[in-house]
Amino acid sequence: MSWTTGAIVLLSVLPTPPTHSTVKGPAHIILIRHAEKPANPQNPHLSRAGVRRAQQLVSFITTDPAITRFGLPAAVFATRTTKDDNGQRTQETVAPLARALTLLVQTPYLGKDYAQLAKLILSDPAYAGKTVLICWNHEEIPQLVAALGVTPEPPKWKGSVFDRVYVISYQDGTAVLATSRYDSR
């Protein structure tokens, strides 16, 4: 046997590293709610504090070692805006981050359609092995987390909490939920 033939045989028995095509879903999903809202319930936009938090999100996601270890998001999702402007705040919260990452904010579903969003993200090969960020309405976040495979479903997200971050990591087919916080200063 010549050296060339031996090298080909040796290479053919070495294990191949996993590729994105062998990974079925995302490696991590970062999930937040929209930033602070104004006192006027008719105003569908972020408050000044909410705008500051949205700007701080950029630094948190792109430089905080606890978050950057998951990799930068390959996609950013938010709720679709309804005819009465519900969903506007989720988009405004992630707009600065999406700009910094040169990504579009994807808004395929209304807040109540969290199950469809989960199905899309978990089945789309474009997100295989990657990190995805979702900004959603706090009322549906526990159900969205469950639809993304976490059991048991986390408790209700309090309406006054804007700094919580859920990170879902997929390890050996199991969704594992971790919680973090980010500051808006």
Structure tokens at 100: 């910094």
**Does residue 9 lie in a domain region?**
no
Find the range with the poorest average confidence among 2-6, 33-37, 41-45, 168-172.
Answer: 2-6
Strand order in the sheet with 131-136: 105-106, 73-78, 131-136, 28-33, 164-171, 174-181
**Does residue 84 lie in a domain region?**
yes
pLDDT computed for residue 122 by the predictor: 97
pLDDT computed for residue 11 by the predictor: 34
**Does residue 16 lie in a domain region?**
no
pLDDT computed for residue 146 by the predictor: 98
CATH for 101? 3.40.50.1240
**Does residue 56 lie in a domain region?**
yes
Find the range with the poorest average confidence among 19-28, 79-88, 120-129, 172-181.
Answer: 19-28
Question: With contact defined as beta carbons under 8 Å apart, do 43 and 30 qualify?
Answer: no
Residue 53 CB: number of other CB atoms within 10 A? 23
> Quick one: average pLDDT of 48-61?
96
**Does residue 153 lie in a domain region?**
yes
pLDDT computed for residue 143 by the predictor: 97
pLDDT computed for residue 185 by the predictor: 53
pLDDT computed for residue 13 by the predictor: 37
Q: How confident is the model over 126-135, as pLDDT tens digits?
A: 999 999 999 9
**92 has a pLDDT exceeding 90:** yes
Residue 92 CB: number of other CB atoms within 10 A? 20
**Does residue 73 lie in a domain region?**
yes
Residue 48's SS3 state is helix
Tally of domains within the chain: 1
**Does residue 15 lie in a domain region?**
no
State the pLDDT confidence band at 156, using cuts at 50, 70 and 90. very high
Average pLDDT, rounded, for the chain: 87
Q: In angstroms, rounded to a whole number, what is the distance separating the alpha carbons of residues 144 and 148?
A: 6
> Quick one: average pLDDT of 94-118?
97
Q: In angstroms, rounded to a whole number, what is the distance separating the alpha carbons of residues 77 and 87?
A: 11
Percent of the chain with pLDDT over 70: 85
Q: In angstroms, rounded to a whole number, what is the distance separating the alpha carbons of residues 98 and 134?
A: 11
pLDDT computed for residue 164 by the predictor: 95
Q: Which domain holds residue 91?
A: 26-181
Question: With contact defined as beta carbons under 8 Å apart, do 48 and 59 qualify?
Answer: no
**Does residue 4 lie in a domain region?**
no
Pairing label, strands 28-33, 174-181? unpaired
**21 has a pLDDT exceeding 80:** no
Residue 130 CB: number of other CB atoms within 10 A? 19
Q: Which residue has the tokens 């526990």?
A: 142
